[in-house]
Chains A and B, each alone.
Chain A
C-alpha cells in the first residue's frame, strides 16, 4: 500500500478504530496497530480498505477479549476505571464522560453499529457485513442504539412538545 495512503488512513481512522476495538478489549491500541501492520504487509491492498481494517480489528479485538476474560474476573470494575472514550472538543454539546458511560452501557449488538457508522463512517451494508447481518438489520439496530443512547443521555426529543399544565 502506498505510504501516503496508509498515513492518511491512520490519520482518519485510527481514533475511530481504537473506539471500535475498545468495545471488546482493554488494549485497543495494540489491536489497531497490528491491524495497520497487517494492512501494510498486504501485497495487494483490499478493495474496501476501511471495511477490511474494521473486520481485522473486530476479529483481533474479540480474540483479545476472550483472552482477557480468562485473566480478569471483575470486568465491570475494570471498565469503570477506564478513561473516557472521547476527548473534549469545542462545540460538543455532550459530555465525553457521560457519552462514554452511556455507550459502554449499551448492549454490544446495538453499540457496534453506532460506533462503526457514526465514527467509523462505514455504510450500513458494511456494518451488516461485519456483524453478519443484512444492511436493513444493521440500520435498525443502529436506530435502536441511538434511541437507547438518547434515553441514557436524557437528550430531549426535538419534536417533543412540552406539556402545559
Chain B
C-alpha cells in the first residue's frame, strides 16, 4: 500500500523538517547493547521451575520417611507337612533322658568333679581344713587337687 503524499503546499515544510536530526539524548550505545545482551541471555522459567519442584519433592519425601512409623509386614508361611510315618507321636511327657551310664572313675578329673557337684551339690564338698596349727596350711587349689586324685577328705 502506497503512502498518500503530503499536500503540495506542505511538501517543502516536510522536507525541511526531515533535515532536522533528533537529539539522541544521553543514550550510551555501547552500554545499551551490553545490557541488551545480558537481557537476551537470561534464561526462561523452565529450569528454575524444575529445580524448585524437585527440591519440594525431596523435602516432602524426606518428611514422609522421617515421620511415618516403620511398617511391619507379617508374612504367613505354611509349614511344610512332614511325612506321617517318620513323625513320632506327640506326647506331653518329656522325652526320657537317654544317657549311657559311665563309671565315675573312667571320667577325666574335671568331669569327675562336675559329676560330684551335680550329684551332691556344694554340701558334698569336703569339710574345710582344720586350723593352721593342727594341719599344714592348704588352699582350695590343693584341696581340689586331692579330690581330683581321688583321695578322700579327712
Docked Cα-Cα span, A16 to B25, in Å, equals 10
Cβ–Cβ contact B17 & A36, under 8 A = no
Give bound CA distance, A149 to B16, whole Å: 11
Q: Are B22 and A86 in contact (CB under 8 A)?
A: yes
| A-B contacts at CB below 8 angstroms, number | 123
In the complex, which range does the number of interface residues on chain B fall in? 20 to 34
Contact of B23 (CB < 8 Å), options: A43, A86, A94, A147: A86
- The complex places the Cα of A19 from the Cα of B27 at a distance, in Å, of 12
Stretch at the interface among A25-33, A54-62, A65-73, A104-112: A25-33
Among residues of B, the one whose C-beta sits closest to the C-beta of A95 is B20
Interface residues, chain A, CB within 8 Å of chain B? 1, 3, 6-7, 10-11, 14-16, 18-19, 28-29, 32-33, 36-41, 43, 83-87, 89, 91-94, 96, 99, 114, 118-119, 123-125, 139, 142-143, 146-147, 149-150, 153, 155, 157-160
Between-chain CB contacts (< 8 Å), 16 pairs: A3-B33, A7-B33, A10-B29, A10-B33, A11-B29, A14-B24, A18-B23, A36-B36, A38-B39, A40-B40, A86-B21, A87-B23, A143-B7, A150-B13, A155-B12, A158-B9
| Interfacial residues, chain B to chain A (CB-CB below 8 A) | 1, 3-4, 6-14, 16-27, 29, 32-33, 35-37, 39-40, 42, 44
